[in-house]
Structure 1
Amino acid sequence: MVTVMADAPIHLWLDVTDAASARIRCWMDVEASGPEGTVMAFPRWIPGSYVIRDPVRMVRDLCWSSSSEQPPWDERLDGSPVKRIGINRLLMGEGQPKGSRIRLGYEIIADELSVRTNHATHAHAFFSQAATWWLPREAVLDREDTTPIILTARHPTRWVPFGSWNSDGCEVLEDETTLSHLSISGLENWMDSPLSFSEATPISRTVGDITLEVTVVDIGGAPVRSDHVKKVCDDAERILAQQVTDLGDPGEGRYTLLLVLTNGERGGLEHRWGQVSMMGRTALTGADPVKAMDLQSLISHEFTHLWNVRNL
């Protein structure tokens, strides 16, 4: 069953079918501010970063048009040109009445292997929301905000989305692609909720009132042995249970842990109810005990932010 909030103020469209090229097409349907035009701003800071990164440098082929039911998935980006304002702002939709629906289309280059930005290969695609989407100029990232946002992602049928988004169903198409319908509430939650796509099947565990969901994916497409995935899940469950005992109950929630195995690149980034961690694949093979311990330490560190992420 598919449930889509057609009247959501922001509807995102993401095409992941050509992830191997590291070129990802995006569309955004928003409400026009009025005939004077609608100003959009691209985030300059990514949660977890220590510097201004200006990820807008990875955006190209910007255009706008009136909104329609679905974007032209298999056609070139086409529409009226936008007007760039400084480094990270644009003006679009001049002449459109206030409240009408307009669509911004563009392409992002997803070739930076990092937990903070976007990367896509033939085996996996990862998206940081703050490195992917524009924000209406008047947007305020307030913890109490409940603005509904929906996302329709087109991806290979063998892939599944993973993240803290709500799943509202999917449609398998005749061209061996799938449309997955996802939603989230609140602009701040949106910006703090990364999303990945791969063949990996999430594993679920329960720790008190927390549902722990774990996905392990190899950036090179190598299969990850089931016993290695089980060890990651066992370690994560044990570490989280100990932290709940030591630090107290953080409340009921769904915590997503994405582990990306690499050739050696390492990193970790906390989110309010999740983490993205990256480690060399030898951490799971038994060939490198030091790296195996480092992985446990990294996962433990990111878990700790469940109790203080809003204060850092």
Structure 2
Amino acid sequence: MIQYQIGITDAAAHLFEVEIQLAHASKGQRFSLPSWIPGSYMVRDFCKNLINVHAMQSGEPVALTQLDKQTWELDSDCEQLSIRYQVYAWDLSVRSAHLDQTHGFFNGTSTFLKVEGRESEPVSLAIKAPEGSLSHWRVATGLTPINGTERYQFGDYGAEDYDALIDHPVEMGDFTLASFEAGGVQHDLVLTGKQMADTDRICADLKKICQTEIDFFGGQAPYDYYLFLTMVVGDGFGGLEHRNSTALMCGRGDLPSKTETDVTDGYRTFLTLCTHEYFHNWNVKRIKPQRFIPYELSAESYTTQLWAYEGITSYYDDLLTFRSGCIDRDSYLDLLSQTFTRVLRGQGRFKQSLAKSSFNTWTTFYQQGENAQDAIVSYYTKGALFALMLDLTLRTETQGKANLDQLMTVLWEQFGSKGIGTLDNTHQQIVESLLGRDATELFAWLTKTDDLPLAELLEKVGVKLSMRSASSNSDKGGIGKGAKVELGALYKADDFGVRLASVRQGGAAHQAGMSAGDRLIAIDGLQVSANLDKQLSRYEPGSTLCCHWFRRDELMSGEITLEPAVITTAQLEIFDENLVKLWL
């Protein structure tokens, strides 16, 4: 067994200490660190945070040669080898590692070197307890406790191989712990950070969601224990799936307190995030592209199938939250309207297909610049709309005898449960078997840059899709009333004026000469504030106004001609209660 050990060198300096011990290491043995973490498709070069990688035998240094940014090679044979290094952990996200006096968190992909050629061997991980003022901390992980260690104690944990070791994030600190059961399996909720959350309510809702998803895939959970590791911050959002856990980040205000009874927008966002990551237990952790079996974590791993693994999951995250009873039907349609709106507001949908979006995620989706809305389309949001198109097509053509649920069931039974990866045409072949016809034309939409023909399909299930202008800069979509004019830019409040976050090509701000990052300070001789929408509502389309803005530290000015607010905001309304039963 290869033995790993991790402890805290200096919490205030954000340093973990890692040691790897193994017997009979031969000359030429290599050690390497992943460049990316499964589920987050971007090369992050975690190796940049490793400090002083060195080798020891019986207390004496052993030569270790670095071959590239993330690989080291042993220069001689060793009977008992120890590899030691520090990890700088100051990335407060779900993807890497973070350590200070309040908590510690790490993913194995950013922490543990792989012993190349011995990845299939079982490993142990000793998580050392901190001392002094941190001695009251506990540890939470989906890894299996061994050697007498009890869950939530510091001590020894085991994994069947290296891939398992790096697929179980670890949280340590003074966290809140709550539990519930779903599908006969214990589920634990860990909340780290200051909060006043009603954990009983959260667990009751998560129980409904988890049970709904377990039943969706046949009633048997693919694990015997599950963990929601949740970092609570002032303002944050994120999630990353793992084989029996998920790492989450949410805003403090997203979690309900004991005095709140409504499902706020923030709490709805948290619940759908949990639904999304939990659905990944099947769709991407076990049902996955053949390209990901096994994962090649040293460099980019290209596939055109992310529309299916993130898009279909994004379709079901809102839908299954509704099916579980945690939100009502109107709330679900509001969320779906917002998905439509996010897609339709981006001109990039006319320039990049879903297949290309999936393939180029490494350089476009995960490294978005200020021009993203004009250059790319998200395989999450447009992928969710394509999943909706598949679902409605199946339901309407077969009079309700087939649906997207059945596609997922077949994928689980024939691929995921057997460890077989999907090919680029797998989903099409299954849909063809459900429809009883060729679906080449249907799946050709994956390579097109046209808007999906969803309005007609929605009408067949009693739902009207209509479009309007945005009522304000913060309007995400749903039932509402649009504004007369618009700036042609998204913005955020700044200390003085507003900061332009993005500028739509061809819009009023673009025509006036403004760019993303500019700080708009005055329009028509009046100071601009966070209430810019209200300020602009006084004017009619075609009004030409003098405006001033800073670019860096240089004052600029120009004339802006306000244009009629563009129609890019979606709203969904039910017009036939009988027809909608075919879908909802």
Q: What TM-score range do you get, normalising by the shorter chain?
A: 0.7 to 0.9
Asked whether 1:276 is paired with 2:268, we answer no
In structure 2, runs of 5+ residues without a counterpart are 289-584
Please name the residue that 2:218 is paired with.
Answer: 248
Match of 1:196 among 161, 166, 171: 171
Please name the residue that 1:64 is paired with.
Answer: 55
Residue 203 of structure 1 and its aligned partner are, at CA, apart by: 2.4
Residue 130 of structure 1 and its aligned partner are, at CA, apart by: 0.7
Is this contact kept in 1: 2:50–2:85, CA < 8 A? yes
Query: 161-170 or 300-309, which moves further after superposition?
Result: 161-170
Asked whether 1:167 is paired with 2:145, we answer yes
Residue 244 of structure 1 and its aligned partner are, at CA, apart by: 2.1
Is this contact kept in 2: 1:32–1:38, CA < 8 A? no
Is this contact kept in 1: 2:25–2:81, CA < 8 A? no
SS at match of 1:150: strand
Please name the residue that 1:154 is paired with.
Answer: 129
Asked whether 1:22 is paired with 2:14, we answer yes
**Percent identity over paired residues:** 21
Distance 1:148 1:61, change over 3 A: closer
In structure 1, runs of 5+ residues without a counterpart are 1-7, 69-77, 172-177
Residue 106 of structure 1 and its aligned partner are, at CA, apart by: 0.7
Residue 179 of structure 1 and its aligned partner are, at CA, apart by: 5.3
Distance 1:81 1:124, change over 3 A: farther
Please name the residue that 2:473 is paired with.
Answer: none
Residue 149 of structure 1 and its aligned partner are, at CA, apart by: 2.5
Is this contact kept in 1: 2:25–2:80, CA < 8 A? no
Please name the residue that 2:498 is paired with.
Answer: none
Question: How is 1:88-103 mapped onto 2 (pairs within 5 angstroms)?
Answer: 88-92=70-74, 94-97=75-78, 100-103=79-82
Match of 2:111 among 112, 124, 132: 132
TM-score, L = length of structure 1: 0.81
Residue 289 of structure 1 and its aligned partner are, at CA, apart by: 1.9
Is this contact kept in 2: 1:275–1:302, CA < 8 A? yes
Question: How is 1:1-312 mapped onto 2 (pairs within 5 angstroms)?
Answer: 8=1, 10-16=2-8, 18-34=10-26, 36-66=27-57, 79-80=61-62, 82-92=64-74, 94-97=75-78, 100-140=79-119, 145=120, 147-155=122-130, 156-168=134-146, 169=148, 180-218=155-193, 222=194, 224-225=195-196, 228-251=198-221, 252-285=223-256, 289-308=264-283, 309-312=285-288
Residue 48 of structure 1 and its aligned partner are, at CA, apart by: 1.3
- One-letter identity of the residue aligned with 1:25: E
Counterpart Cα distance in 1 of 2:24 and 2:43: 29
Please name the residue that 2:345 is paired with.
Answer: none
- One-letter identity of the residue aligned with 1:53: R
Distance 1:32 1:56, change over 3 A: farther
Please name the residue that 1:5 is paired with.
Answer: none
Is this contact kept in 2: 1:261–1:281, CA < 8 A? yes
Is this contact kept in 2: 1:12–1:26, CA < 8 A? yes
Counterpart Cα distance in 2 of 1:238 and 1:119: 31
Residue 17 of structure 1 and its aligned partner are, at CA, apart by: 5.8
Is this contact kept in 2: 1:127–1:196, CA < 8 A? yes
Is this contact kept in 2: 1:184–1:190, CA < 8 A? yes
CA RMSD of aligned residues (A): 2.4
Counterpart Cα distance in 2 of 1:11 and 1:302: 30
Larger Rg: 2
Counterpart Cα distance in 1 of 2:236 and 2:139: 23
- One-letter identity of the residue aligned with 2:136: R
Counterpart Cα distance in 1 of 2:276 and 2:40: 16
* More strand per residue: 1
Residue 81 of structure 1 and its aligned partner are, at CA, apart by: 5.6
Please name the residue that 1:72 is paired with.
Answer: none
Query: Which one scores higher on RCO, CA 8 angstroms, separation ≥ 6?
Result: 1
* More helix per residue: 2
Is this contact kept in 1: 2:40–2:240, CA < 8 A? no
Deviations 1:247-295 (A, max 9, x none): 3223351111111101212100111111111111111256992111100
Counterpart Cα distance in 1 of 2:9 and 2:30: 29
Is this contact kept in 2: 1:284–1:292, CA < 8 A? yes
Runs of 4+ in 1 over 6 A off after TM superposition: none
Is this contact kept in 2: 1:17–1:154, CA < 8 A? no
- One-letter identity of the residue aligned with 1:28: I
Is this contact kept in 1: 2:126–2:157, CA < 8 A? yes
Deviations 1:141-179 (A, max 9, x none): xxxx462333242324311111111223459xxxxxx85
Counterpart Cα distance in 2 of 1:157 and 1:237: 32
Query: 243-252 or 267-276, which moves further after superposition?
Result: 243-252
TM-score, L = length of structure 2: 0.44
Query: 294-303 or 209-218, which moves further after superposition?
Result: 209-218
Query: 145-154 or 16-25, which moves further after superposition?
Result: 145-154
Counterpart Cα distance in 1 of 2:94 and 2:17: 20
Is this contact kept in 2: 1:48–1:116, CA < 8 A? no
SS at match of 2:25: coil
Deviations 1:70-112 (A, max 9, x none): xxxxxxxx945631101210123x3334xx2211111111001
Distance 1:246 1:87, change over 3 A: same
Counterpart Cα distance in 2 of 1:247 and 1:311: 12
Please name the residue that 1:73 is paired with.
Answer: none
